[in-house]
Structure 1
């Protein structure tokens, strides 16, 4: 009898993992469970489509290793399957003297990660982005853009062609040692992989694991440039990030469909799938508010959180943040766009998990922290998971 694999979660990491299993074990019995009626509905379907190079991550970390490899394998996968992809590069911009030291540190980290990067003065930066404000900038040549939702659809098609099952509209209600309970029946398994994203900690607890972290949802809200102002941005323009946080600051992204996204900020969401302020779940909010790790995080970084909330509630503040990068941008140039929710794992001591967190528990693997750059890294995360299963 072939080994039975059940993957919980039909986002890009779950689908890539199922695809990798079929590549390595063509006779395996593979089932993907997704509670929504389409794949890639949440984190994957709400991001800006950036194929990250691996600039920000500590050398030797999973993020650094898998993102660098993933930027190549994702671009190759897209090209192979006719998915639009463009390796356009990006600028990370220092707009004031206080950011120059952090930009230099980011450059040194990028070099340590083996990336093709170049430090530029202001005039050289404006050769790439004529409208940018920059004392200095770093150009990252290998950054790209694509449509990760389309990647998910292609992966799902490949899975079905390969004999796997992709069960949509199927919610997991319980997990036993040898079977998964759903609202549409029981599914036996020999190996379980939890790629449930925003609900990964809950699925881990259903499976009898102790995740040692809590998923707290942070909403990232976007605007986009009006069509007549898209010429202000050629590619991707990012600020120098605050190293205390995994959020990259509001930035500009010229997307694969021709739009130019501006954002995101990072505010606490009141629901794990809370894409608007009015989306509230008493259960989700109580879990976040009652978690001691969240209280410790809040006591340490309340000013940061307050600034992000103000920017969320004030379009004028949002526009002013963008104008630090491109001074010609005004509120009149922006129109509201969508939002995404980041599944951020937080430890009980209040620290943010800053690397991918993938834990083996018997015949189960739990992906407990896989926010950005997980989409970029997804094909490599899948290899890493399958290697763990084989160990």
Structure 2
């Protein structure tokens, strides 16, 4: 009877453990996480978007698993009574120089086999009456869901399938056939590292030397005051600038009816640094010692300074949103909970732009799984379990 230990009780770890209980009946499946609850970090601070797969290079894991995942996540939510909505989204061009980029994005989305349509300003206003657009692209298969609720269901299904979830158990080391934790040893023939913000550290602890390093970027959000939620019907995104590493602030109607605005992207002062007040000397020292971070910073210095200014200035944040919906003002914004993105960066300073999953005998390490990992989680789980079939146990 094979013994599997999944490290990390976020949505990718839980989806993988659930898939193991389905595909490996009789196996011993254990999930371990240092936190006292599931979905404590990236998953629990997620915007709740079910991404269609618009932005990703055709043929990449992100493109293929996101497209499949947007369908399987909606089906899973409906099967288990989790509120979900396929609301679609608009990607809007607000300036003339964005029009060629919007056309290129339409061509990429079409190459990825997605249901997209180019819209005139009048057609865009039928979806979002308050939007400002020279042109827009409608992505029909984008949706919204509560990913924490998904994790709670996955945790129940794991238990129903004979698996165990050990919370409050930090992984401290590895021996042959054993995962050492702060609450005792766990026998393991196979280890699956889905530790998100700590994934590269877990890999190094297990004897892997990943080429990429996790660097945490905090995404800060506001939400619209309740009496201003009517300004946004669904999801409104800007056209991304390929010169910069992130999408830019956008507007997202959540499954509970609230409307979140953001995120920006600033270097977090701790791996789990959800505010400027959260500080870790160890985490910052690691970032400072990593050449890839300095190369990234030099390449995007102006962009990074703009993000910091937007972090410190609600008026600037509001002006960024007003490019999409001109009626939004600073007075409409209420601070909301931030998230931290676990982004893998190469020594060259390039962001790893696809999911990065490495395996060796007895081990699979998920070393880059930022957005759209929540969307793709059920499909990532299938991918991981397929890899397990090709490697030998510890």
Instruction: Return the TM-score normalized by structure 2.
Output: 0.98
Whole-angstrom distance in 1 between the partners of 2:328 and 2:362? 53
Deviation at 1:246, TM superposition (A): 4.4
Helix, strand or coil for the counterpart of 2:300? helix
Deviation at 1:177, TM superposition (A): 2.8
The answer on whether the counterparts of 1:230 and 1:260 sit within 8 Å (CA) in structure 2 is: yes
| 5+ residue gaps, structure 2 | none
Q: Which residue of 2 aligns with 1:204?
A: 203
Q: Which residue of 1 aligns with 2:139?
A: 140
Q: Which residue of 1 aligns with 2:384?
A: 385
The answer on whether the counterparts of 1:246 and 1:354 sit within 8 Å (CA) in structure 2 is: no
1:258 counterpart = 2:282? no
Q: Which residue of 1 aligns with 2:36?
A: 37
Q: Which residue of 1 aligns with 2:360?
A: 361
Whole-angstrom distance in 2 between the partners of 1:135 and 1:372? 28
**What is the aligned length?**
390
Q: Which moved more, 1:170-179 or 1:257-266?
A: 170-179
Helix, strand or coil for the counterpart of 2:198? helix
The answer on whether the counterparts of 1:90 and 1:238 sit within 8 Å (CA) in structure 2 is: yes
Tell me: CA distance 1:33–1:285, structure 2 relative to 1, closer, same or farther (3 Å): same
Tell me: CA distance 1:68–1:281, structure 2 relative to 1, closer, same or farther (3 Å): same
Whole-angstrom distance in 1 between the partners of 2:109 and 2:156? 36
Q: Which residue of 1 aligns with 2:156?
A: 157
Tell me: CA distance 1:159–1:59, structure 2 relative to 1, closer, same or farther (3 Å): same
Q: Which moved more, 1:244-253 or 1:285-294?
A: 244-253
Q: Deviations over 1:111-170 (max 9, x none)?
A: 000000000111110010000000000000000000000000100011011110100000
Instruction: Return the TM-score normalized by structure 1.
Output: 0.99
Whole-angstrom distance in 1 between the partners of 2:296 and 2:165? 38
The answer on whether the counterparts of 2:244 and 2:303 sit within 8 Å (CA) in structure 1 is: no
Q: Which residue of 2 aligns with 1:238?
A: 237
Q: Deviations over 1:216-255 (max 9, x none)?
A: 0000000000000000000000000122444221000000
1:180 counterpart = 2:179? yes
Q: Deviations over 1:336-355 (max 9, x none)?
A: 11100000000111110000
The answer on whether the counterparts of 2:77 and 2:84 sit within 8 Å (CA) in structure 1 is: yes
The answer on whether the counterparts of 1:92 and 1:138 sit within 8 Å (CA) in structure 2 is: yes
Helix, strand or coil for the counterpart of 1:60? coil
Q: Deviations over 1:321-360 (max 9, x none)?
A: 0000000000001111110000000011111000000001
Q: Which residue of 2 aligns with 1:224?
A: 223
TM superposition outliers: structure 1 runs of 4+ over 3 Å: none
The answer on whether the counterparts of 1:180 and 1:186 sit within 8 Å (CA) in structure 2 is: yes
Whole-angstrom distance in 2 between the partners of 1:247 and 1:231? 27
Whole-angstrom distance in 2 between the partners of 1:167 and 1:313? 39
* Structural RMSD (CA): 0.6
Q: Which residue of 2 aligns with 1:98?
A: 97
Helix, strand or coil for the counterpart of 1:359? strand
Q: Deviations over 1:34-78 (max 9, x none)?
A: 110000010000011000000000000000000000000000000
1:268 counterpart = 2:273? no
